[in-house]
Structure 1
């Protein structure tokens, strides 16, 4: 049975449009544009039948020809459709587009996401790829964990295999892991296992911002978070970060202006800047979300990759206040291996229960085999972390030495850990330079693809955990690409000293 249709009278349209006649342009075009604005505002909804031309002309005190021409223009713009014998109807602006492809802004963002495109577009194995990091050093420990996990598969196979909350033994292990790394007492019931941190972000976005609500996201940020919130049609507001710190002092005005449902930050080894939020800024951040009762998501994915430099471990945001609505997420992709696809959410039990229901609809539960392997890997977490951090520090040393030798005009701050090296060009556009770099056999990510608002267009990001020879070769190629690129630039304007 066809859904009931709405009908708008000429008087209702006249009231909705207001003083439209004073706008510039031909009368029919002004009318068409004003009706289109009303559709975009939601004052006129898809499926509504517009009044007959004569009826609307009388209500607006204009000629019928003007209304006929305005309706024709709206048809040309795809905003209405004419049905023989039935009148003129407002179309949904995405009518005729397959639903998965309807969100063009999100798809454009995903197309720029380095994780969503081929690492080497030309298929050349000789391209040095700085868009991803290597983790070959942990292979032997993963093999050990898989061997031990195999002995536990048979009893697990007697069960249905559908466990949306995650394996109980893994939730217990993750709770202990969180306590050991952050000091936060955590119970199994407060843990939901997800298919990586990406699914954790997606699930939380579906619960907190499913209807186009405002979300505040650090800028630049993890591209997967930008894509997830955009695909959910959230209105993403940037909280600026520079090479030194997240600009926490800007947050209060953003909250008061935008009334967000969520704030998303990664305060430890922030990607891509590699910074660690100070204790003072952490306290300010939590006080703000507590005062406004805005839910804060802390992404701890990079926490285990913080290089030990003798300073105290940073305080988890959820540990600062009992009343602040803070949710913690994490993933074992960076510590262990991205192919595991195992992440987690730490939240109050009522919320993890609710999220598990969403997850059941989404995927019926994450892979139990990956979860079994992760249980075994968590028993080796300290060894794994030592290997990874030693590897990260060594790669950073070699990369910085190569940059100092071959690209002395570039600027950067040494990251505190993580996998990203955030470097600023002396001048020029990073997106254009990345194309030059690829022609010279090296693949980097332009900074603007990691932002909400297209800023940071003079930065590039390198995933720097590579073998020593690859690092040296890649930077030499970058230097050659830079010389070629710089030669075709006009004289650079003076650059502001502030970051």
Structure 2
């Protein structure tokens, strides 16, 4: 298969004002004292660390990039040579140079150490920011009490219904219809959560070594699920800040064509971890891309209920589909409670039939009690979600205020919803920070957990699902941990070695 290539225009857009990266004049302004090739190489290096230039992808040809940037080809040649010397490009005879990370930079996506022995050896009380989930609302008790009253109607059956009880499928279908996407109960399959639904879909829609496009960064357990079925995640970077932030739809189209990906997994509704939201125009374009490339897009709506900023909620992505190119997965876990393992898949009945064939080899259905409890919660969702979103909004404000006070050099642009912010660090030290943070009283999920092949060393996800007082303490702990670091990774590239 042909190597995926970053377009010269896309790379130039992401580089921005690359000539001034890292150059401050004495008056605080910007200058371009360094050679152009060195400034350009530094700009590309930052894109690699941020996951905006994915590993294994080829850079544009020297001729194309020189023309696009308006520099000499010699400048591009020297830039690529410098990146090769420092291990950021790998060149093979007869093929393009591809993006890499130097051997000294960790790029295995290792999970942060947070086992029980690590916690027992830590005398400091720890605040766990490795998860984004809230405690159950008061209505949860009523939900299970109501479910208990309704369970006798099901006790005369075997209780194993792999498609889900009809009352819940009707409630979920009605919910989609109210959001502007006409849906029938036979288009709904009840699952053990969104993660379970994704795994079922991957088993049906992919084959070993198949390419699956993902937005980058994304939900880390989805990356693991893709790998577990033998498929290969193909990252398409999000633009996390600035006026054009969000999904690179041209990049998605290009990646689908270049990799022949037949499946994509995207989180356009308050992306985890950035909180970004894809607008209606982008959703229409995404559906068109899926049709044009014959790609099935699995849309994860787990965060869709968590709208924090005032805006008109966009239609579900599947509302823009003309066939079966968009499959939607949802969950009650983020909206109501993580311990409620109930989710759903919305798709066509033919695919549901295939999914049921796979499901029988994994499990025999979602617990009836949990399904009945979910029906009660959906009936009272307006008041529950309004209160939970107000709580999240307040906690987000507390987190942002604490970051501005204690870590003013960190860049944070909150998305309009979700449960977390995606903080950019001044240096690529996310893994080191996550490793030392428990000694200061906080557990963190390092940025590379949300990407592939070592991306996002300059980022960390910060959930605001904890109480405000805990968030303020956690930020002070992060500031203490960050101050203790002496990162060599922050050192700039040195000029080319002259022999």
Per the TM superposition, whether the score is higher than 0.5 is yes
Alignment of 1:12-411 (within 5 A): 112=111, 118=115, 121-123=118-120, 126-136=125-135, 138-180=136-178, 182-243=179-240, 244-309=245-310, 311-323=311-323, 325-411=325-411
Task: Give the conservation status (yes or no) of the 8 Å contact 1:406–1:479.
Answer: yes
CA contact (8 A) 1:128 1:474 kept: yes
Kindly indicate whether the alpha-carbon contact (under 8 Å) linking 2:112 and 2:444 is maintained by their aligned counterparts in 1: no
Q: In the superposition, relative to structure 1, how do residues 489 and 113 fare at CA in structure 2: closer, same or farther (>3 Å)?
A: closer
CA shift for structure 1 position 278 = 2.6
Give the 3 Å change call, closer, same or farther, for CA 290–197 of structure 1 in structure 2.
Answer: same
Q: Distance in 2 between matches of 1:119 and 1:384?
A: 34
CA distance in 1, matches of 2:220, 2:207: 19
Q: What's the offset of the Cα at 1:285?
A: 1.5
Please state how far the C-alpha of 1:464 moved relative to its aligned partner.
Answer: 1.4
1:126 CA displacement = 1.1
| Deviations, residues 66-125 of structure 1 (Å, cap 9, x unaligned) | xxxxxxxxxxxxxxxxxxxxxxxxxxxxxxxxxxxxxxxxxx76x6289xx648831458
CA root-mean-square deviation: 1.9
Cα distance change on mapping 1:179 and 1:403 into 2, 3 Å: same
Of structures 1 and 2, the one with the larger relative CO (CA 8 A, separation 6+) is: 2
8 A contact 2:333–2:341 mirrored in 1:
yes
* Secondary structure in 2 matching 1:152: helix
Structure 1 residues 432 and 252: CA distance shift in structure 2, 3 A:
same
2:473 matched residue in structure 1: 473
Asked if 2 retains the 8 angstrom alpha-carbon contact of 1:119 and 1:131, the reply is: no
Change (3 A) 1:491 1:457: closer
Structure 1 residue 350: Cα displacement: 1.3
- Superposition deviation, residue 420 in structure 1: 1.6
Structure 2 counterpart SS, 1:305: coil
- Provide the secondary structure at the position in 2 that maps to 1:202: helix
Query: For 1:421, what is the secondary structure of its paired residue?
Result: strand
Deviations 1:381-403 (A, max 9, x none): 11121111101100010000000
Q: Name the one with the larger helix percent.
A: 1
Cα deviations by residue, 1:147-204 (Å, 9 ceiling, x for unpaired): 1111011221211011000111111111112222x21111100000011001111011
Say which SS state the counterpart of residue 341 (structure 1) adopts. Answer: coil
For 1:208 and 1:303, the matched residues in 2 are separated by: 24
**How far apart are residue 463 of structure 1 and its match?**
1.6
Separation in 2, partners of 1:240, 1:373: 38
**How far apart are 1:281 and its partner, in Å?**
2.2
User: Aligned partners of 1:399 and 1:118: how far apart in 2?
Assistant: 26
Q: Deviations over 1:228-274 (max 9, x none)?
A: 11000102211111312121111122111111120111111001111
Normalised TM-score (structure 1): 0.73
Cα separation, 2, equivalents of 1:256 and 1:324: 19
Q: Which runs of 5+ in 1 are unaligned?
A: 1-107, 495-499
Contact kept? 1:396, 1:464, Cα under 8 Å: yes
* Distance of 2:371 and 2:117 partners within structure 1: 31
Partner residue, 1:462: 462
Closer/same/farther in 2, CA of residues 279 and 490 from structure 1, 3 Å limit: closer
- C-alpha contact 1:286 1:324 (8 A) present in aligned 2: no
Q: Would you say the 8 A contact 1:215–1:234 is kept in 2?
A: yes
Runs of 4+ in 1 over 3 A off after TM superposition: 117-121, 488-494
Structure 2 residue matching 1:139: 3-state secondary structure: coil
Shift of 1:133: 3.7
Partners of 1:312 and 1:432 in 2: CA distance: 40
**Hey, what's the Cα distance between the residues in 2 that align with 1:478 and 1:120?**
21
Aligned twin of 1:15? none
Instruction: Quote the offset at 1:456 in angstroms.
Output: 0.9
The answer for the alignment partner of 1:36 in structure 2 is none
Deviations 1:302-325 (A, max 9, x none): 00002241x211121111132361
| Residue pair 1:120, 1:127 contacting (<8 A) in 2 also | no
Q: Shift in Å at residue 134 of structure 1?
A: 4.9
Q: What TM-score do the two structures reach when normalised by structure 2?
A: 0.73
Aligned residues: 380
Superposed CA offset, 1:34-85 (max 9, x none): xxxxxxxxxxxxxxxxxxxxxxxxxxxxxxxxxxxxxxxxxxxxxxxxxxxx
Paired residue for 2:453? 453
